[in-house]
């Protein structure tokens, strides 16, 4: 009789678990994502004051677990973001990311290529359940300190790896240079401003942020 009771008890547990398959099917611990930046910054899409030599600097993408690993809107830019946004250089920024990797706040980063206003660039990154966020940045050039980015994109939703995401890219001012036009001379400011969304001309209309400089797509491999 005891053996029959034990069998029925175990069977009931198995039956209960099978009613919730998401609780017994573990998520893969790692995933690989292809990130494609499809740039669309041309004289046709941006006729106002469109500069000569319009381009985007080297893309830097990173998988991580800590929020706002590259920058935080409303706070001051790091030295790495300042250098990237003003000159397109990535050395200081990647050294900051290296420190995040050492402290287990980021998994890895990749550096892409320059895009001349209109074109496509791609990188491939590893992600894991411990590092399920993606962020990236690139300078919009020429400009005083303007950059394009998307931050804290979740790659796991409801315990499932996201298959594909497509987003408009977002334009930011790093707050480190007081120039107001694409080709403004370097205007060092003693009082840096917090990073903010660009809404004023020549990239915005003064009322809303204009996002027509490209899209970012993130696809699980």
Residue 200 belongs to domain spanning: 30-220
Note whether residue 60 is domain-resident. Answer: yes
Question: What confidence category does residue 24 fall into, taking pLDDT thresholds of 50, 70 and 90?
Answer: very low
pTM of this prediction? Answer: 0.85
Note whether residue 197 is domain-resident. Answer: yes
Least confident of 108-117, 135-144, 171-180: 171-180
Share of the chain above pLDDT 90, in %: 66
pLDDT given at position 22:
47
pLDDT given at position 217:
98
Note whether residue 7 is domain-resident. Answer: no
Note whether residue 109 is domain-resident. Answer: yes
pLDDT given at position 183:
75
For the segment 41-76, what is each residue's pLDDT rounded down to a tens digit? 888 877 678 888 999 999 999 999 999 999 999 999
Q: Count CB-CB contacts under 10 A for residue 207.
A: 8
Note whether residue 9 is domain-resident. Answer: no
Note whether residue 12 is domain-resident. Answer: no
Question: What confidence category does residue 201 fall into, taking pLDDT thresholds of 50, 70 and 90?
Answer: confident
pLDDT given at position 21:
46
Is the per-residue pLDDT at 185 higher than 70?
yes
Cα(41)–Cα(218) distance, integer angstroms: 20
Is the per-residue pLDDT at 6 higher than 70?
no
- The pLDDT of 91-115, averaged and rounded, is 97
CATH number for the domain harbouring residue 166: 2.60.40.2130
Note whether residue 159 is domain-resident. Answer: yes
Domain count, the chain: 1
Higher pLDDT among residues 199 and 93, named by residue: 93
- The pLDDT of 146-175, averaged and rounded, is 95
- The pLDDT of 165-181, averaged and rounded, is 90
Residue 113: helix, strand or coil by DSSP?
coil
Phi, psi (rounded to 5 degrees) for 131: -135, 75
By the 8 A CB rule, do 202 and 210 touch? no
Note whether residue 52 is domain-resident. Answer: yes
- Average pLDDT of the chain is 86
Phi, psi (rounded to 5 degrees) for 164: -155, 140
pLDDT given at position 171:
93
- The pLDDT of 5-11, averaged and rounded, is 37
Q: 200: which strand partners?
A: none
């Amino acid at each position: 009789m005891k053996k029959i009771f034990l069998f029925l008890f175990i069977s009931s547990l198995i039956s209960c678990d099978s009613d919730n398959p998401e609780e017994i099917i573990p998520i893969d611990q790692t995933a690989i994502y292809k990130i494609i930046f499809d740039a669309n910054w041309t004289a046709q899409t941006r006729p106002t004051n469109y500069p000569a030599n319009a381009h985007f600097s080297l893309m830097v993408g990173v998988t991580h677990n800590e929020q706002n690993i590259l920058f935080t809107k409303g706070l001051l830019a790091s030295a790495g973001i300042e250098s990237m946004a003003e000159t397109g250089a990535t050395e200081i920024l990647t050294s900051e990311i290296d420190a995040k990797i050492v402290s287990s706040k980021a998994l890895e980063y990749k550096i892409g290529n320059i895009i001349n206003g209109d074109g496509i660039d791609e990188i491939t990154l590893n992600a894991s359940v411990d590092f399920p966020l993606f962020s990236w940045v690139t300078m919009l050039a020429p400009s005083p300190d303007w950059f394009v980015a998307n931050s804290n994109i979740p790659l796991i939703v409801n315990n499932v790896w996201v298959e594909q995401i497509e987003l408009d890219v977002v334009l930011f001012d790093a707050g480190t240079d007081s120039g107001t036009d694409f080709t403004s001379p370097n205007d060092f400011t003693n009082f840096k401003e917090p990073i903010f969304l660009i809404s004023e001309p020549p990239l915005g209309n003064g009322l809303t942020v204009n996002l027509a400089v490209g899209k970012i797509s993130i696809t699980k491999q």
